[in-house]
Chain A
Amino acid sequence: MNEIILSTKQLTKQYGSFTALNEADFSVCRGDICGLIGRNGAGKTTLMKLVTGLTEPTSGSYQLFGKDSTNSFLKRRIGCLIENPAFFGSMTAFQNLKFYCLQKGITDMKKIDEVLELVSLTDARNKKFKTFSLGMKQRLGIAFAMLDDPDIVILDEPINGLDPIGIAELRDTFRTLNRERGMTFIISSHILSELYAVADHFVFIEKGRLIKSVTKQELDLECSRCIVVKCGDVKHASTVIDSLGITNYKVIDKSELRIYEEGVSAKELNKQLVTNGVEVEGLTESGVSLEDYFKQLVSENN
């Protein structure tokens, strides 16, 4: 089993009477690319601020690398970009990163050019930060997060302001770093399709609550094309389905099951179920987009 790099236990944050994060329990394993999905104000940034030590939890706790505190030694193993990228406007990209290299005790200044190349900012190395476009600022923020070869990179809405080519390049960078260096990522976004393209583990947040945590395979399964069978006796129905040689199906609850197998005719299935005495209450072909899936999750939790 993979090492758990970050875990939270009943993590709660309140601002006065407003609960920004409510008893969040989740964990991220080494090598994961975890996507935090939620609407604006759902609690994604609060969760990230808590685990990076930018704010203190009202209750609950979290562990980083299996340890309770976020001492400076552990902090050096985290790279992050929370909210908007923030740098000194009158300093160049190189000078800004050099400042943070000195601060973190990084002696090899070649690292700066390496991370600038990683985010395609080599040409803007000596340009002042205040002259940067939104996308360039975002990329410099990502370069900063990568500066110290961290074990875990926490990025809050990293693709904001990036053009399609920039997004694709960044996606490749994340994948490469994850594959080649085993870097763990936690990336938040409300652009589901983009997150889907890079993450392998998804955590859905709504109104401060973690409403669902699924792997990419599970998400694919839940969103993929399927036949939804609603009936009074799921056990009997599954016996009939087994007898038909269908193996790729899932019992959702006591009145619903879903068949994901390719080439199954809804009409023929209905006929077989009825013939074998299953009281079919409904049989529909389904397949939801990520957006619809998220909307459905949100409405179920409201």
Chain B
Amino acid sequence: MINMIKAELYRMTKTKGFYLFWGVMLISYLITIIYKQEGGISLGAPIVTDNSLKMDVRMVSWNFTYYYLFIIPVFTTVCSEFSNHTYKNTISSAISRKTYYFSKYFFILVYTLLSFSLLNFAFYAANRLVNGSEYSSSLGRFAKSVAVQLPVMAAIISLFIFIAFAVKKGAVFNSVTIISPILYTTLGLVLYGIKDTKAFAEKMLTCEISTIIMRVAKETSGSFTAKCMAGSALVIILSALFGYVIFTKREID
């Protein structure tokens, strides 16, 4: 498994996606630090700015930009293997399907979560250095916001890995992952406008991914955060299991 991870890391550095991932986030943080204004990619849900929080924590609540960036490592690690049919080289002369699946799974999970943490803390340090305490919270407060987002991020990645192993084709994977949250939000907002479905839509929008990411970063504890943690754990377990079953039981073409 260690060899697989080394190989994946080597290959990842040879892809454009690797530089895109780091480039987009670093530029986004740079703009935030220079203009002292948080921001990122919206998934369609209404954004409510909470001015009681300092700029760095408000930026953490915008971390759903990562939702789109997490597509890149999953795409390059899993989908490109299927589109190039290179997975056959590995399975036929290096490792079993089981090891192949779990190596990919752990590599993506560890790589993305480490990158997520590293980028967030790099932003904190740079922001603290440039803008001072007026725009930055204590390290403890900031770390708490990032830490509670980790299980949610892990659930998103795990779900992405499952989708990649299930659909195999890069184009389908991209379509499903990019469009799903937008469709979900659009549906929620449409239902919100209808009197009879307003209450249902409110619940629906509470479970919307950018809302979850934003709320856990702000609240960091309480029943909502606990529910999110439990939900994330469930998603991680189920998606990892289903992904494994689908990949190992299906015929390789």
Residues of A within 8 A of B (CB): 15, 49, 52-55, 70-72, 75-76, 78-80, 82-84, 86-91, 95, 98-100, 102-105, 144-145, 148, 150
**A83–B88 CA distance with the chains assembled, in angstroms:** 10
Q: Is the CB of B3 within 8 A of A103?
A: yes
Q: B4 — nearest CB in chain A belongs to which residue?
A: A103
**A174–B251 CA distance with the chains assembled, in angstroms:** 31
Residues of A close to B252: CB separation below 8 A: 49, 54-55
Q: Is the CB of A104 within 8 A of B14?
A: no
The stretch among B5-13, B45-53, B127-135, B217-225 that forms the contact with chain A is B5-13
Q: Which of B14, B85, B92, B99 has most chain A Cβ within 10 Å? A: B92
Distance to closest chain A CB from B250 (angstroms): 10
Q: Is the CB of B93 within 8 A of A80?
A: yes
- Given A99-B7, A102-B6, A103-B3, decide whether A84 and B85 contact each other with a Cβ distance below 8 A: yes
Contact of A76 among B14, B86, B94, B251 (CB under 8 A): B94
- Given A55-B252, A90-B15, A99-B11, decide whether A72 and B92 contact each other with a Cβ distance below 8 A: no
Contact of B251 among A55, A70, A83, A150 (CB under 8 A): A55
Residues of A close to B3: CB separation below 8 A: 102-105
Q: Is the CB of B86 within 8 A of A71?
A: no
Distance to closest chain B CB from A129 (angstroms): 9
Q: Is the CB of B86 within 8 A of A78?
A: no
Distance to closest chain B CB from A225 (angstroms): 42
Q: Is the CB of A78 within 8 A of B93?
A: yes
Q: Is the CB of B7 within 8 A of A53?
A: no
Q: Is the CB of A52 within 8 A of B86?
A: no
Q: Is the CB of B89 within 8 A of A52?
A: no
Distance to closest chain A CB from B92 (angstroms): 4
Distance to closest chain B CB from A91 (angstroms): 5
Distance to closest chain B CB from A199 (angstroms): 21
- Given A87-B84, A87-B86, A103-B7, decide whether A95 and B93 contact each other with a Cβ distance below 8 A: no
Which residues of B (53-89) have their CB < 8 Å from a CB of A?
80, 84-86, 88-89
Can you list 26 contacts pairing A with B, beta carbon distance less than 8 Å?
A: A53-B96, A54-B88, A54-B252, A70-B96, A72-B94, A75-B92, A75-B93, A76-B93, A80-B92, A82-B92, A86-B84, A86-B86, A88-B11, A88-B84, A89-B84, A95-B14, A99-B7, A100-B7, A102-B3, A103-B7, A103-B95, A104-B3, A104-B94, A105-B3, A145-B93, A148-B93
- Closest 10 pairs (CB-CB, A-B): A102-B7, A86-B85, A52-B92, A103-B7, A105-B3, A72-B95, A102-B6, A86-B86, A80-B92, A99-B11
Q: Which of A15, A79, A102 has most chain B Cβ within 10 Å? A: A102
Residues of B close to A75: CB separation below 8 A: 92-96
Contact of A99 among B10, B88, B92 (CB under 8 A): B10
Q: Is the C-beta of B207 less than 8 angstroms from some C-beta in chain A?
A: no
Q: Which of B11, B89, B90 has most chain A Cβ within 10 Å? A: B89
Distance to closest chain A CB from B193 (angstroms): 46
**A79–B89 CA distance with the chains assembled, in angstroms:** 9
Q: Which of B84, B96, B252 has most chain A Cβ within 10 Å? A: B84
